[in-house]
Amino acid sequence: MQRLRKIAFPISLVYAFVVHIRNYLYDKGIFKSRSFSIPILCVGNLSMGGTGKTPMSEFLIATLKDTYKVAFLSRGYKRKSKGFVLASSKSTVEDIGDEPFQIHSKFPSVVVAVDADRTRGILTLQNEANPDVIVLDDAFQHRKVTAGFSVLLTAFGNLYCDDRYFPTGNLRDSRREAKRADIIIVTKSPPHLTQNEQGEILKRIQPTADQKVLFSYLVYGSFLEGENEKMALSSIKNRKVTLITGIADPTPLVSFLNETGIAFEHLNFRDHHFFRPHEIRLFNSKECVLTTEKDYTRLKGHVRNLYYLPIKHGFLNHGEHELKDALHHFMKRYS
C-alpha cells in the first residue's frame, strides 16, 4: 500500500495544485463564501478520517444542548437518499448516514439534518427548525460557508503538519488553512503526554497567536452496550469475541482491547461500510460480536449478541473547561 502511495506522488502534485488554486480564489473573493446571522460551529480536519470528529461533535452538542436549541448538519456520507433530509422517528441509517443517525439516536432533542449542499442545508434548517446554533460536521474544507467558530482536529499519530497530499498521504487541504481555525485539538494523544512533549508538538504545529491548542485522548467505557442489556467489559474475557470495525482507524480500539487482555478475532472493513447479507450471516454465527458505536447503528437489529463500546474525548491540562468556556463565549456574541 505504501509503495502504491509513493508511485501516486505525481497525482498528489496535481491534487495540491487544484487545492491551492481553489483556496487562492476564495482568499481573493473570486469564489464567494457565505456568512450567516445564526451561530455556525464547524468541526473538521485537514486529513481524511480518523481524527475523532463524531465524539467531538457529541461533546460540543452535549455542552450546548441544555441551554440552546442545537441543530446538527452533515452531508450524510454514503446515505442512499438525496438532497436535504430532516431526521425523524422514521429515519434509518440508509436515509441519513451512520454518524448523523448515531447523533439522532443519542440526542433526541437535537435537530439532525443532512445535505451535501451546506449552504442550502443551513438555510433550510433556519426555515424549518429555527435553531439557536448549528453544528456543522466535517466542513472545515467547505469554504462556501464561513463558520463563526471552527474546531480543527488532528490526530496525534498523524499531525496535519507532517502529512502529505492525497493519495501519497491523507491530506485533503493545505496545511496553511489551519490558520482559519479558532481552536486546534490534537486528538488521540497519550493520556500522560508530558508538558515537554506537548511543547514539541506546538513547535511543529506553529499555531497563530490567537489560536488555542488543546490535547485530547480517547476514553473507552468500562461497560458494553447492547440492544437490551449492559454488561461489564471484563465479562467477555472468557468468551469467543469477534471485533467488527468499519471506521477509518480502528488501531486505538484494537490496542485498548489488547491492553485489557481480551482475546478476539478482528474483521476489519472500510470506513462507512454497508454490510452485505453474507457478512451478516457470518456475524450471526459468532458467539459475541463487539463493534464501534458507529458500526452498531448499521448492525443493530440484524446481528445477535451485538455490543458496542462507548467512547468519548478526555482532555489534558483542563482542556475540557477551556473548550467549554470558548463555546459559551462564542454563543454570547450572538445574544
CATH number for 277:
3.40.50
pLDDT computed for residue 78 by the predictor: 87
Q: How many CB atoms lie within 10 A of CB 142?
A: 18
At 235-291, the pLDDT tens digits run 999 999 999 999 989 999 999 999 999 999 999 999 989 899 999 999 999 999 999
Q: For residue 49, what pLDDT band results from cuts at 50, 70 and 90?
A: confident
pLDDT computed for residue 300 by the predictor: 94
pLDDT computed for residue 227 by the predictor: 87
Q: Please say if the pLDDT value at position 2 is more than 70.
A: no
At 141-153, the pLDDT tens digits run 999 999 999 999 9
Q: Say if residue 211 is in the same domain as residue 246.
A: no
At 308-325, the pLDDT tens digits run 999 999 999 999 999 999
Which range marks the domain in which residue 59 is found?
2-68+132-218+315-332
Cα–Cα distance measured from residue 77 to residue 99, given in angstroms and rounded to the nearest whole number: 8
pLDDT computed for residue 8 by the predictor: 74
Query: Does 210 reside within a domain?
Result: yes
pLDDT computed for residue 4 by the predictor: 63
Cβ burial 230-263 (10 Å sphere, 16+ → b, else e): eeebeebeeeebbbbbbbbbbebbeebbeeeebe
Do strands 223-226 and 230-232 pair parallel, antiparallel, or not at all (unpaired)? antiparallel
pLDDT computed for residue 125 by the predictor: 98
Cβ atoms of 326 and 41 closer than 8 Å:
no
Specify the DSSP element, H or E, that contains 205.
Answer: helix 195-205
Q: Say if residue 148 is in the same domain as residue 193.
A: yes
At 51-72, the pLDDT tens digits run 999 999 999 999 999 999 999 9
Query: Does 274 reside within a domain?
Result: yes
Domains in the chain: how many in total? 2
C-alpha cell at 101: 443517525
Q: Please say if the pLDDT value at position 1 is more than 60.
A: no
Q: Say if residue 183 is in the same domain as residue 195.
A: yes
At 183-202, the pLDDT tens digits run 999 999 999 999 999 999 99
Q: Say if residue 204 is in the same domain as residue 248.
A: no
Q: Say if residue 185 is in the same domain as residue 235.
A: no
Query: Does 92 reside within a domain?
Result: no
For 219, counting Cβ atoms within 10 Å of its Cβ (0-12 exposed, 13-18 middle, 19+ buried), the class is: middle
Q: Say if residue 264 is in the same domain as residue 199.
A: no
Cβ atoms of 208 and 254 closer than 8 Å:
no
Q: Say if residue 299 is in the same domain as residue 324.
A: no
Query: Does 18 reside within a domain?
Result: yes
At 30-39, the pLDDT tens digits run 999 999 999 9
Nearest CA-CA partner of 319 in 169, 172, 151, 167: 151
pLDDT computed for residue 50 by the predictor: 84
Query: Does 119 reside within a domain?
Result: no
Q: Say if residue 274 is in the same domain as residue 205.
A: no
Whether the ω angle into residue 167 lies within 30 degrees of 0, i.e. cis, is yes
Q: Say if residue 305 is in the same domain as residue 322.
A: no
Query: Does 19 reside within a domain?
Result: yes
Q: Say if residue 322 is in the same domain as residue 305.
A: no
Q: Please say if the pLDDT value at position 304 is more than 80.
A: yes
**Which residue would you say has higher pLDDT here, 9 or 271?**
271
Query: Does 114 reside within a domain?
Result: no
Q: Say if residue 159 is in the same domain as residue 298.
A: no
For the segment 147-162, the average pLDDT, to the nearest whole number, is 96
- Mean of per-residue pLDDT scores for the chain: 94
> Rounded to the nearest 10 degrees, how much is the dihedral formed by the CA atoms of 284, 290, 295, 300?
50
Cβ atoms of 310 and 230 closer than 8 Å:
no
pLDDT computed for residue 264 by the predictor: 96
Q: What is the share, in percent, of the chain residues with pLDDT greater than 70? A: 98
**Which segments of the chain are extended strands (E)?**
40-45, 70-74, 85-86, 111-114, 133-137, 149-155, 183-187, 212-220, 223-226, 230-232, 241-245, 264-268, 288-291, 306-308, 311-315
Q: For residue 48, what pLDDT band results from cuts at 50, 70 and 90?
A: confident
Q: Say if residue 201 is in the same domain as residue 150.
A: yes
Rg of the Cα trace of the chain? 20
Q: For residue 176, what pLDDT band results from cuts at 50, 70 and 90?
A: very high
Query: Does 101 reside within a domain?
Result: no
Q: Please say if the pLDDT value at position 5 is more than 70.
A: no
